[in-house]
A and B are shown apart, each in its own frame.
Chain A
Amino acid sequence: MPYDDSAVFIGKDICFGFGPRPVLKNLTLRLAEGKVVALVGSNGAGKTTLMNLISGFLMPQSGQLLFYGINYAGWSAPRIARMGIARSFQDMRLCSELTAIDHLLLAYHKVRGECLPFAWLHSCWKAENDAHTEDALTTLNALGISSQTARQPLKELSYGQLRMVGFACAIGNAPKLILLDEPTSGVAKAESEKIVEGLLALRSAGATILVIEHDLEIIRKIADETVLLEDGSVLIQGPTESVLDSAKFKSTMFGESYDGNS
């Protein structure tokens, strides 16, 4: 798959396994700029592993990870994040003692007061910090988190609110590629709708997103393309409607005997 200008990310022949068990086998994937791509597949197909590889939390055993043509395989996760690839986690991994605003301020990468002795010089970081706090509140308010809730430690927030914070962190720094691992999993319908609204707004703004999602209704609403992963390889990649309506998708996801009426 040659690199072309419209591709934000290209994964070429990615192989990865835990010990002797292969998880991804010569997987090849292309994410076009400004597209929302849904990643689907049965449990254990390798969806989260692929996301961990793209974001640097796992290293591929072989293959290339190209971001705007630069092969970054082997780079550390923080370096990849600074390059412009943001992600949310399926199990959130947030900081229970910090507030939602703290999380968003951490999601903004350029902060001067994180190094001694500049941390003690308010004039070095106060103005930037205040501006980022305003931005953070705007983002959180848009997702239904009130300014008061945004100032509470996360241990006092509900599960749905935590999901919102995780989602806000992934999109907070206007990254070039956003990876979302089941953003609507376990949240109430109203909160799920807020996340879908947020995703649609990001799509309109031209963001490139790879999202793991199980709800087919949501996938049809938000995704331009869908990738079906099975047994560590891409089985089909194409426009969402055609993939979701294909017999291959139905038999993979719902079983060999699926006839479309059950």
Chain B
Amino acid sequence: MYELAIIGGGPAAVAAGVYAGRKQIKTVLITEGFGGQSLVSNDIQNWIGDLNISGIELAKKMEAHVRSQQTVDIKDFELVKTIQKINDGPPVGHFLITTEAGETFESKTVLFTTGSRRRRLGVPGEDEFDGRGVVFCSTCDAPLFRDKIVAIVGGGNAGLEAVVDSIPYASQIYLIIRGNELKGDAITQEKVKTHPKVKILFNTEITKINGEKFLTSIDLVNSQTKETSNLDVGGVFVEIGAVPNSEPVKDLVELNKGREIVVDHKTQLSSQVGLWAAGDVSDVLFKQNNISAGDAVKAILSIYDYLHRNQLTGAHQ
């Protein structure tokens, strides 16, 4: 049995793995892959210690750092399906973790750092044309829309960066914003607002995605005037935020309305004794790589204290 199972492979998981290694906590880290959501970012400029770094470079550095920890076993290419609490005696029982592939792990504590995934539009045609014009990775797929008209949905940093990714390829770009203002960084806003290829549609929402073999058009509604329209486009890039990957623990811990795990922000402990959470899957206010890493460190120091206080470490057995 492990003393700690870390679930996830983003900055929170890796920071936790490094600290767990240094505390010599017998740990298993289970992840689909390393890097977290920033993996698809071309240029991260706010990771402390690097002036700028790509998502893939950062992922490689993080993976190497956690792999260097001797007490941490890494199980990658594994997705956790369920976590169950086994109440098998004092002081607090333990956890049974089952992966999609059917592998199981037992651990005395869990640190859950699975982050979040892209929010979808939830309109007719989105699923049907996913991969056939609907895009969730603009850095990957923007070059496939050369000389096409595309619509990009979302006025935050991800939406603005998708516009920047598309400028070299698309013939025209409609940036579709639900509200009446852009929210991303001012420096990127300026680039987007002033580019001749870009037209911003404020107070606008997509109501339907149409096509045959591939996506050909979208239906729109103006939320203020209620006026409807149809726009011919070859692609729709969806960049409208994220939803937390909290499903495997939804019956174990308290979630807020946004499906985030509610934690004590001093320790990162959830409502379930023995289960901590950090990073974007938790109810942290600001979703940032540096904050995720720091919160995970808080969690490990709290877990270390918990293991010793309850005499759950190998040294006590």
**Same complex:** no
Residue positions of B touching A, CB distance < 8 A? none
